[in-house]
Chain A
Amino acid sequence: METIKVQKLTGSKAMSLAIEQAMNKDDKVFVMGEDVGKYGGIFGSTTGLMDKFGPERVMDTPISETGFIGAAVGAAAEGFRPIVELMFVDFHGVVMDQIYNHIAKITYMSGGNVKMPIVIATAVGGGYSDAAQHSQTLYGSFGHLPGLKVVAPTFPHDLKGMMAAAIQDDNPVVFMFHKTLQGLGWMDQIPSSLGPVPEEEYIVPLNKAKVIKEGTDITIIGAQMMTVEAMHAATELEKEGISAEVIDLLSIKPIDKETIFKSVEKTHRLLIVDEDYLSYGYTAEIAALVSSEAFYHLEAPIGRLAIPDVPIPYSPVLEKYVIPDSKNIVAKAKEILNS
């Protein structure tokens, strides 16, 4: 029997390993972005790749997102599979035209004649006092736009498998990685940012959510750090005899309705937790889907926790107040169960 080599890796190493394996296999894969070369990506997503592949395939760019992310369009049309890094998702404002008017629409406007196999890798999330312009997730902003697959893996295993899948996909994929889950030495190192990752190549589908803890009383859905908080909450709830099922969303667009409906059919109660703004976010989208397509499974109103429509504040006491955590989740879950 062949032994499968599994090592414990951080989120960032898992991601960069996926890119390395794809680059070894396909010389049309290359990386462009700010500080992706010698630095290895500000959040470690391209660690060690420049040494292995050289500056022609791991290209440091000027601070010029419209330029290099727009250039990915022309390179993709010529048969390349560019991975471009938008250092912080918050910087989308300077390049959104290229992303939503071009990358997301060219396949459609060309009647399917032009493929756009582009991965836009981007760091998301707050919790470390980087304030309003460097702490957003913007899951909903990207999920709203047709023509983009949007993924937000949580644990190292899925970061690797979904990056591999994103590179292979012939469509544009916005690959969101959470800064706190990269396992970086200069941030709060949390246990969830380290996990078992097979050395061999594998794919994690881009359109599937995962039940990561089974339960019977309530379903809690999160993505990335909200999945981590939901797991902490589930442990707390367990102590009080409440059995919570936790779903890691993984795919922001499309939303995996089947996994969610199946869980709600079992638990009859639903709490959705988002590190994005409340209005028009995935809490609203999932609530709408469940209300319109799985309403009769519900025995209580759906609960939503998200950032209450304010920019992310700087001072830790303020930031902690607006980003949902396990305590908020426990309280909200009990409220739903008692309703």
Chain B
Amino acid sequence: MKDISKDHLVWMYSKMKMSRYFEERMETAYMEGKQPVFNIGAGPVPGEMHLSNGQEPAAAGICVHLKKEDTVTAPHRPHHNAIAKGVDLKLMTAEIYGKKTGLGKGKGGHMHLFDPEVKFSCGGIVAAGMPHAVGAALAAKKLKEDWVAVAFIGEGAANAGAFHESLNLAALWKLPFIVVIEDNSWGISVPKNESTCVPFNDVRAAAYGIKGYLVKDNDPFEMYHVSKEAVDRARKGEGPSIIEIETYRFLGHFQGDPELYRNKEEAPSLRAKDPIDRVKNYLFEKGMASEAEMDALDVEITKEVDAAYEFAINSPLPEPEEALEDVFV
């Protein structure tokens, strides 16, 4: 395997760990007010909640190569993508709690996070963020900047019309656009082999005359390497790429999903191959970091996430009539 610098490995580890700890706290926070009877609209964090535990390599492995000026769009399961892109954690958490201090002043919620400071957005319509990223890539080209735009989607989105339209446009105009397909095997309850006509979506690149990459088994290191190549090529004006990564969905489609459609053994077997441990162990094996160093890092990450939750919990709710504001600027 090609080498990865300690800085990059530690960066990836930090973002993955931060996302994991953020979501583990969210699992608990979300269930507040929803027990003993689950009611999706109850509690301090109401509505649908799609967590990404297990999918962290998809986000960290490419965002390590991105800068602030690069655009990221994400789908309905966005927290790991947002954290890897550097979205303000306090403002994001406050938004998820529906607070006035949130990124969208409580009008967006967990599926609709917008942080223009780091050019991040996400949305709840499958594949719909792809054309937005194509537009950002078009803007970069018009401005003659070396910025790239990355659209994260799920494997189910590769079957939607927007996927095709976006890739045709991006390839036609040779834009610095990359789509990362996070294949967690499931479109809610429908497995990939029952929804998708090819086993892997990287082959679809041939249809657009662009480059396709496949990362097997949620491998954070391989994700790092193929992403580097795709980002470098995009920055140099060599056009778009498709990256598909086989990733893991530890949890249900959303919190509260009884998961009657999947084998009870699947999630534990995926957890046994935890990608965060893989990065940490690699750092130890290569003698790049000590246990004390990593423990200290974990403490720092925990503190930052806890501070974000504290900020969110202590923030005021919006005044009801603020619902009428911000339709237009």
Seen from chain A, the residues whose Cβ lies within 8 Å of a Cβ on chain B are: 30, 56, 61-62, 64, 66-80, 82, 97-98, 101-102, 106-115, 146-147, 149, 170-171
Q: Which of B162-202 contact A (CB under 8 A)?
A: 162, 165-166, 168-169, 172
Q: Are A97 and B139 touching (Cβ within 8 A)?
A: no
Q: Is B325 at the interface (CB under 8 A from chain A)?
A: yes
Find chain B residues with CB under 8 A from A112 CB: 105, 325-326, 329
Q: A66-B161, A97-B125 are in contact. Are A113 and B136 (CB under 8 A)?
A: no
Closest to A111 in B: B105
What string of 1s and 0s marks CB contacts (under 8 Å) between B116-149 and chain A? Answer: 1001010101001011111111111011000001
Complex partner residue of B132 from A56, A77, A82, A170, CB under 8 angstroms: A77
Q: Are B131 and A171 touching (Cβ within 8 A)?
A: no
Find chain A residues with CB under 8 A from B14 CB: none
Complex partner residue of A76 from B135, B140, B161, B168, CB under 8 angstroms: B135
Closest to B135 in A: A74
Q: Are B327 and A108 touching (Cβ within 8 A)?
A: yes
Pairs across A and B, CB under 8 Å, 8 listed: A67-B162, A71-B131, A72-B135, A74-B136, A80-B142, A106-B114, A112-B105, A113-B114
Q: Are A67 and B131 touching (Cβ within 8 A)?
A: yes
Q: A64-B168, A109-B112 are in contact. Are A77 and B119 (CB under 8 A)?
A: yes
Q: Are A73 and B140 touching (Cβ within 8 A)?
A: no
Q: Is B74 at the interface (CB under 8 A from chain A)?
A: no
Q: Are B104 and A109 touching (Cβ within 8 A)?
A: yes
A62 CA to B167 CA, complexed, in Å: 12
Q: Are A62 and B166 touching (Cβ within 8 A)?
A: no
Complex partner residue of B135 from A77, A97, A109, A114, CB under 8 angstroms: A77
The size class of the interface chain B forms with chain A is: 35 or more
> How many pairs of A and B residues are in contact by the CB < 8 Å rule?
144
Complex partner residue of B139 from A69, A74, A102, A111, CB under 8 angstroms: A74
Seen from chain B, the residues whose Cβ lies within 8 Å of a Cβ on chain A are: 71, 73, 102-108, 112, 114, 116, 119, 121, 123, 125, 128, 130-140, 142-143, 149, 161-162, 165-166, 168-169, 172, 325-329
Find chain A residues with CB under 8 A from B165 CB: 62, 64, 66-67, 70
Q: Are A78 and B136 touching (Cβ within 8 A)?
A: yes
Q: A108-B327, A109-B104 are in contact. Are A73 and B132 (CB under 8 A)?
A: yes
Complex partner residue of B104 from A72, A98, A111, CB under 8 angstroms: A111
Q: Are B103 and A78 touching (Cβ within 8 A)?
A: no
Find chain B residues with CB under 8 A from A66 CB: 131, 161-162, 165
Q: A56-B142, A75-B138 are in contact. Are A101 and B128 (CB under 8 A)?
A: yes
Complex partner residue of B114 from A30, A61, A110, CB under 8 angstroms: A110
Complex partner residue of A110 from B103, B132, B166, CB under 8 angstroms: B103
A69 CA to B131 CA, complexed, in Å: 8
Find chain B residues with CB under 8 A from A106 CB: 114, 121
Q: A67-B165, A67-B169 are in contact. Are A110 and B133 (CB under 8 A)?
A: no
Question: Among B105, B107, B142, B328, which residue has the most Cβ atoms of chain A within 10 A?
Answer: B328
A61 CA to B172 CA, complexed, in Å: 10
Q: Are B138 and A108 touching (Cβ within 8 A)?
A: no
A69 CA to B106 CA, complexed, in Å: 27
Closest 3 CB pairs of A and B: A70-B131, A74-B135, A111-B105
A44 CA to B140 CA, complexed, in Å: 29
Complex partner residue of A77 from B102, B105, B136, B162, CB under 8 angstroms: B136
Q: Are B114 and A70 touching (Cβ within 8 A)?
A: no
CB distance from B209 to the nearest CB of A (A): 14
CB distance from A72 to the nearest CB of B (A): 6
Closest to A147 in B: B327
Q: Are B108 and A110 touching (Cβ within 8 A)?
A: yes
A106 CA to B116 CA, complexed, in Å: 12
Find chain A residues with CB under 8 A from B138 CB: 71, 74-75
A146 CA to B326 CA, complexed, in Å: 11
Q: Are A147 and B328 touching (Cβ within 8 A)?
A: yes
A177 CA to B329 CA, complexed, in Å: 25
A106 CA to B119 CA, complexed, in Å: 14
CB distance from A139 to the nearest CB of B (A): 19
Known pairs A74-B131, A102-B132, A111-B107; list 18 more (Cβ under 8 Å). Answer: A56-B142, A66-B161, A67-B131, A70-B131, A70-B134, A70-B162, A71-B134, A72-B135, A74-B137, A74-B139, A75-B139, A78-B71, A80-B139, A110-B104, A110-B107, A111-B114, A112-B105, A146-B327
Find chain B residues with CB under 8 A from A102 CB: 123, 125, 128, 132
A115 CA to B112 CA, complexed, in Å: 15
Q: A111-B104, A113-B104, A146-B327 are in contact. Are A77 and B116 (CB under 8 A)?
A: yes
CB distance from A96 to the nearest CB of B (A): 11
Q: Are B327 and A62 touching (Cβ within 8 A)?
A: no
A77 CA to B133 CA, complexed, in Å: 10
Q: A113-B116, A114-B114 are in contact. Are A171 and B71 (CB under 8 A)?
A: no
A146 CA to B325 CA, complexed, in Å: 12
Q: Are B133 and A74 touching (Cβ within 8 A)?
A: yes
A69 CA to B130 CA, complexed, in Å: 12
Closest to A112 in B: B326
Find chain B residues with CB under 8 A from A70 CB: 128, 130-132, 134-135, 162, 165-166
